[in-house]
Structure formats: structure tokens, C-alpha cells
Amino acid sequence: MSDDTIQYLVLDRVEPACNMARYYVLAIEPSLFGNPTLIREWGRIGYPGQRRIELHDNQSCAVEALETWLQRKRRRGYQLRNGST
């Protein structure tokens, strides 16, 4: 994953048998001062969720954190939503 290709990912986990419809968003954006941040947002599809912002020293640290969260969520059954880049 290069620094400029993936900046925004949306994952879904939908299991109708368990009444589960959840989303997870991972994004890398600059902070007000230009430092890279990893923004994580999650919740039930169709409802406002929670948001956490993590500051990082450089772009590569932010990308590494994004990849770690992506692997963690995929192990829990989340799948990339069609059309997310």
C-alpha cells in the first residue's frame, strides 16, 4: 500500500441472522498543523457512529497503523465496501 493510493477505506460487517449491520471507516488525513492523522469511525449502518483521531509523526507511521486496523477488522469479518478506495 503506497502513501498516495489508499487514503479512505470503508468496511462493512452484515450478518442478518445476528441482526448485525456495522461499518468501520479508516482514513488518513492531515491535521490542522499538517501532521498525518489516522481517523477511525465505526457504528451501526444508518446511524451516527463514534470517531477516534490518532496523530502520527509521519505518513508511513499513519499508513502502518491503518494497515494494522484493516487486518484486525478483516479478521473479525469486516469486508471492504464496493467503491471504497
* Average pLDDT over the chain, rounded to an integer: 89
CATH number for 8-80 (one of 2.40.10.10, 2.60.220.10, 2.20.140.10, 2.60.40.3080): it is 2.20.140.10
Which three cell numbers, joined as nine digits, stand for 31? 491535521
> Could you identify the residue written with the cell 487514503?
7
Q: What is the domain partition of the chain in residue ranges?
A: 8-80
Tens-digit pLDDT profile for residues 33-62? 889 999 999 999 999 999 999 999 999 999
Tell me, what amino acid is at 10?
V
pTM listed for this prediction? 0.83
Query: 3-class SS at 43?
Result: strand
d(CA 44, CA 22): 4
Tell me, what amino acid is at 50?
Q
Q: Which pLDDT does position 12 carry in this prediction? A: 97
Q: Residue ranges of the alpha helices (H) in 3-84?
A: 59-75
